[in-house]
A and B are shown apart, each in its own frame.
Chain A
Amino acid sequence: DVVMTQSPLSLPVTLGQPASISCRSSQSLVDSDGKTYLNWFHQRPGQSPRRLIYQVSNRDSGVPDRFSGSGSGTDFILKISRVEAEDVGVYYCMQGTHWPLTFGPGTTVDIK
């Protein structure tokens, strides 16, 4: 199985400041169709997860533009340009190129 790692695992942030989460895969996530199936999810405490980003850098509908994704191959980043209070929770990267789908361990974002 493809192993997904994230850093940091805990990220205290200041409101209004930027934040960045790194995600790395144990093998390339470039599929045979040329696409890279790397997704980012956000889970608020007590809620179901919700996807923010698909295929590395595409924001889902309704996701604020302060969220952006980048990367290629095995290294990916999720950036929040200015953290807001509603951004707290756990962020997971997930690869969908190889079966089975696998997730990173999660990065917990909270407010300093």
Chain B
Amino acid sequence: QVQLVQSGAEVKKPGSSVKVSCKASGGSFSTSTISWLRQAPGQGLEWVGGIVPIFGAAKTAQKFQGRVTVTADESTTTAYMELTSLRSEDTAVYYCATDINRPVGDSWGQGTLVTVSS
């Protein structure tokens, strides 16, 4: 099973951008479906976007209206989620996870807290 380690917590100003990384080890990174999800303080889970590295094309939730970019680097087995034009409502723990919708075991990163505050 894949092990996922995410980058550390970030504090950002409104209007700026953040890029969170998710380093995978073990398993099959290239053919995994990597999802990014977020969880606002005290709230539930929200899917942000996803990618299958071997195919390259990412899907993202329309609600982000082009503010989010999901990428993956097969050479370093690392996935990235970049969110631009940050607002206070983007304050959340961001998780990467693999294969949450496939009949193989899922794996989750430890989460990255992104705080947007002036």
Contacts and interface: CB of A to CB of B under 8 A. Distances in A.
Contact of A50 (B44, B45, B102, B106): B106
Interface string B51-79: 00000000101100000000000000000
A105 B61 contact: no
Interface in A39-67: 39, 41, 43, 48-51, 54-55, 58, 60-61
Main SS at interface, chain B: loop
B45 A94 contact: yes
B106 A60 contact: yes
Interface stretch (B23-31, B84-92, B107-115): B107-115
A103 B47 contact: yes
Contacts of B108: 48-50
Nearest to A106: B44
Nearest to B61: A100
Contacts of B9: none
A85 interface: no
9 contacts: A48-B95, A48-B111, A49-B45, A50-B108, A51-B105, A54-B102, A100-B61, A100-B62, A106-B44
